[in-house]
Amino acid sequence: MPSLYIHVPFCVQKCDYCAFYSQSLVDSPKGLIAVYLEGLEVEMAKRQKDAPHGVSSLFIGGGTPTALKDEDLETLMAMLQRNFHLNPGAELTIEGNPGTITPSKLEILRRYGINRFSLGVQAFDDKLLSAVGRIHTAQEAREAIGRLRAAGFDNISLDLMFGLPAQAMGTWQATLEEALSYAPEHLSLYGLMLEEGTPLYERYKEGSDDKIDGLETVEIEAKARCYPTGSVQSDALPDDELQAEMHDWAVERLKKAGYTNYETSNFARPGYECQHNLGYWRGEDYLGLGPGGVSCLNRVRWKNIEDVRAYQSRLLKEQDPVEEAGPEALSLQECMAERMILGLRLEEGVHLTSFRNDFGVDLRDIYRDVLERYKDKDVLTYQGDYLRLNPKYAFVANGILSDFV
């Protein structure tokens, strides 16, 4: 069974750092949501055949799905129920932002079986939120968490960001400590990345080349250093050393609090790892519907066009709404490289037997040169039937994993 992702490309207002496809509801033409929903239902009916036995998990993301009005949210959920079998006990997640979460919306979601909520908090500091274009306040985030618990959600994930403009170590620590006070089942911690074409990139583009790659440009041995406590002046971005310190402190603090760092940026209490994302990282098939949605089935990948009206128009004409390049048949080498890159971001690592069963080769033969290169640096290790990345190199993982391409 593939997993299912639904992209809702609407936000109240787009954040300054966001490079995902979404439309600001303030600027969107009237009726655009109805156009989106009409196209989405056609695509759902078309893709039913790709999940004849149901889907393994559901993730409704965006954008901000909870920015939809009650009636539109209800329409979306009813469409899902009509077109796909959501297996009993499956993880059913929706994303939302503080300020867009109301008791009536949560009642709709619970009625349709949504059992996991991913809340985009980012920070419990109004100045930091404003600095990156977030329109909610810290108090609204606190109220949203309370509403989620009151509605019966016992699987909540909080998204937090570090490396924000003018964010000092103490501010980051305060954000994480407050997050822990709400006892979330899951936390996702992301370092700020400057994406070309975003307002934040334009604001900080001078000297931004290093920031685009984050700490991937740092030599892997740098993780063995002890970073001094940093501070940030004015509205400057924290440098790489301070970001590394923020990351390392968070890893240790969450470990003490009982969270497992099961993926580079993700932490969970035992049993609350995000099953939907684990499917991606383990190389399982997935369907991505809606404008900008990405799918990969049987080693064929495609992406829908990022235009609501063009997306709907093509579907009504019984045409595929995919980008001009069309579906891409992935080579065996590409699939193996993706399995290594994504799998080594997981704490568990890459399962040797599964790799051999899926690709017909032993990864120790295919990647012998890469494995030899890092063998004496204690970067890659074997544990039982798994190849793992040493956790102390997790924050510079992309620079290492690129060697598998």
pLDDT at residue 225, as a whole number? 30
DSSP 396: G
pLDDT at residue 227, as a whole number? 30
pLDDT at residue 387, as a whole number? 94
Q: How many Å apart are CA 387 and CA 384, to the nearest integer? A: 8
pLDDT at residue 207, as a whole number? 52
Q: How many Å apart are CA 375 and CA 390, to the nearest integer? A: 11
pLDDT at residue 234, as a whole number? 55
CB 386 within 8 A of CB 363: no
Q: How many Å apart are CA 254 and CA 188, to the nearest integer? A: 11
pLDDT digits (tens, 9 = 90+) for 141-174: 999 999 999 999 999 999 999 999 989 999 999 9
- 316: enclosing H helix or E strand: helix 308-316
* CATH ID of 339-404, from 1.10.10, 1.10.1760, 3.40.50, 1.25.40: 1.10.10
Beta bridge partners of 289: 6
Q: How many Å apart are CA 33 and CA 10, to the nearest integer? A: 8
Question: Does the predicted TM-score (pTM) go above 0.85?
Answer: yes
Interacting residues of 302 by C-beta distance below 8 A, sequence separation 6+: 294, 295, 320, 322, 323, 326, 327, 328
Q: How many Å apart are CA 81 and CA 231, to the nearest integer? A: 50
Interacting residues of 127 by C-beta distance below 8 A, sequence separation 6+: 166
Q: How many Å apart are CA 50 and CA 289, to the nearest integer? A: 12
pLDDT at residue 300, as a whole number? 96
pLDDT at residue 376, as a whole number? 75
Residue numbers in the chain where pLDDT is lower than 50? 208-233
pLDDT at residue 305, as a whole number? 97
| Helix and strand numbers, DSSP H then E, in the chain | 16, 17
Interacting residues of 37 by C-beta distance below 8 A, sequence separation 6+: 72, 75, 76, 79
| Overall CATH class of domain 3-281 | alpha beta
Cα dist from 319 to 16, 275, 290, 297, 323, whole Å? 34, 32, 14, 19, 12
pLDDT at residue 206, as a whole number? 59
pLDDT at residue 221, as a whole number? 36
Where exactly are the structural domains of the chain?
Answer: 3-281, 339-404
pLDDT at residue 9, as a whole number? 96
pLDDT at residue 226, as a whole number? 30
CB 70 within 8 A of CB 320: no
Beta bridge partners of 159: 120, 188
